[in-house]
Every structure is written in structure tokens, then in C-alpha cells.
Amino acid sequence: MTGLGDIADESIITFPEGLPGLDDCKRFVILRPEGIEPILLFQYVEDENLSLPVIPVQAVMEDYQLQISPGDRELLGFPVEPGLAEKIPFQPEKNQGWPENALCLAVLVLPGEDLPPNCNLFAPIVVNAATRRAKQVLQLDSDYPTAFPLPRE
């Protein structure tokens, strides 16, 4: 459904435009450690001690709709058909126009002492598993929050 199986362990994902706040790192290895599925880790290529945990948006919000512009589709290597609207909503569950090999992952902030875990639904990381390119795609037309609280255990 998510194309996750197409990403082999240890394969390198490239962010051509970098990630805001982590601008010095554009290449990550994607890890799927046992026991924490469906959480994935984007491990820095340059520093294996650092990683960014992410979770598929569908695991958090089943009816999440991603909007991605033709420019970003092109950047990530998804097909861009002529005449496409400026923004196209995708619903992977309904399989309506969700590009093949697309992953949509929310950056996860782990719980602290006074802080519940939360994830960023406003700026999901979209990965094309086929081209191994990724971008944090802002959902400017949405009301999705940057810190969506997740229930504690």
C-alpha cells in the first residue's frame, strides 16, 4: 500500500533541497528496526549516532490528505501529467491518484518528561521509493498542525 517494501534496508534517501533546520544533511539511510514498527528512522549518513524518527501518516490519521504541487512531483520523480491542477489531494487508502512508490511520513517528536509524543502533520516527508528522493512538503492550504499530539501508552 505504501510502497514501503520497495525500500531496502540501508538504502540511501536523498533530500535534494535539504531539510529545514538540518540543512547540512541531505542524505539519510532509512532504517526499520524490529519492535518499533511502523516507526522508521532516517539515520544521518555522515553521523550514524543521529537519526530522525518518522511514522507513516496513515498510522496516525487514516484519512490524511496530502497535497503536492506539480513542481514537487517533478523534483521527486513522480509522473507529472499535463493539465494537472496546482495542488492535487492524494488519499492512499482510496488509492485516488496516490503516486506509485510514494511514502508520506510524519516527523515524530518523542515524549519528554512533560511533553506527550507528537508528530508533524503540517510538513510530512514525502519519499519516492523508486527514485529514493525525498522532500518535506508543506501543507500550506491545510489546517494540519505542526505538533499533532499522540496518545501516551
Pick the binder of another protein from 3, 77, 91, 123 (CB under 8 A).
123
Residue 117 in contact with another protein, rule: CB under 8 A: yes
Q: Pick between residue 22 and residue 45 the one whose CB is nearest to another protein.
A: 22
Residues whose CB falls within 8 Å of the CB of residue 77, separated by 6 or more in sequence, listed in order: 128, 130, 131, 133
The residue whose grid cell reads 503536492 is: 68
Among 92, 120, 126, 127, binds another protein (CB under 8 A): 120
- Distance between CA atoms of 97 and 50, rounded to whole angstroms? 34
- The grid coordinates listed for 56 are 507513516
Return the H-helix or E-strand segment holding 35: none
Give the number of other CB atoms < 10 A from CB of residue 45. 14
Q: Quick check: 41 binds another protein (CB under 8 A)?
A: yes
Binding residues for another protein (CB under 8 A)? 19-22, 31, 33, 35-39, 41, 43, 49-53, 55-56, 58-60, 62, 69, 71, 107-111, 117, 120, 122-123, 136, 138, 140, 146-147, 150-153
